[in-house]
Structures are given as C-alpha cells and as structure tokens.
Amino acid sequence: MVPQKLPKNWNFWNHLLELNTIIDTPCCLLGDFNELEESLDKGGGSPVSPTQCTKLSLFFHKINASSLAVLDRPFTWKAQVRGQVLYEKLDRAIVRCDWHNLYANACITHGPFTCSDHCFLLLMTHNLPA
C-alpha cells in the first residue's frame, strides 16, 4: 500500500505517514512535534493562523489518529520573546484509533518546567482517581 503523500517539504510527516503503512499494530507516538493542533494550543503572542494548525490536522486525518487528552494545564513549552511569555502545546501523544480503542481511558499529564523550556510528559493508560 502506497501512502498518500503530504506536501513535499513536510519530510518528517511524510516519513511518519510511510511508517504508518508498515506498522500494523496499535500505535502511540509521544514527544515534541513542534506543531499546533488548534488555536487553544497557544497562550500569549500573536494569534494562531489556521495554516499553523494544518500539518497536525491533515496528518491526523490521513492516519485516523488524534491527540490524547491532557489533564491539568494545556501547555508543555514556554519562552520569553520580546519581553512577553509565550506558552504552547508542542509536546503530545498522537494515538491511532486502534491504540485508543485498547486504552480508551488513557491520558497525558506533565510535570513542571524545570531546567528546560519543555516539561516532561507522563502517559497514563488509565485516568487518575478523583
């Protein structure tokens, strides 16, 4: 099966798209993807344009995936730019539907910002008790 390509200059996303055709077991990708999924993924600075959310949305559509729910605060990266603090959700868990069906209650939480401008992610395959 030949994957349907994304724009040529999206090398990273095209590579993941190709891997998706090879990996036939439930799949979860966790890490810093440096992309926004929606305007709520950013706090501070200039507003998010619709084109800034294109890569993740299109990739999710092509592999039948979504971003896993996040408990607590939404942002995983922060920086100070021109005297203003910016926050963004750049780190996430991308899950295909087959994986999400196995771990329907899975979610992400993350730690504090310490020695990095990113905070760590913690994947839980069941929700925390209330």
Percent of the chain with pLDDT over 70: 94
pLDDT of residue 20: 92
**3-class DSSP assignment, residue 43:** strand
- Cβ atoms 121, 108 nearer than 8 A: yes
pLDDT of residue 127: 56
Rounded distance between C-alpha atoms, residue 84 and residue 102, angstroms: 42
8: pLDDT strictly greater than 50? yes
pTM: 0.85
- Cβ atoms 107, 124 nearer than 8 A: yes
Residue closest to 27 by CA, chosen among 91, 90, 98: 98
**pLDDT tens across 77-127, in order?**
999 888 889 999 999 999 999 999 999 999 999 888 888 899 989 999 875
Residue closest to 30 by CA, chosen among 115, 107, 113, 102: 107
Neighbours of 90 (CB within 10 A): 18
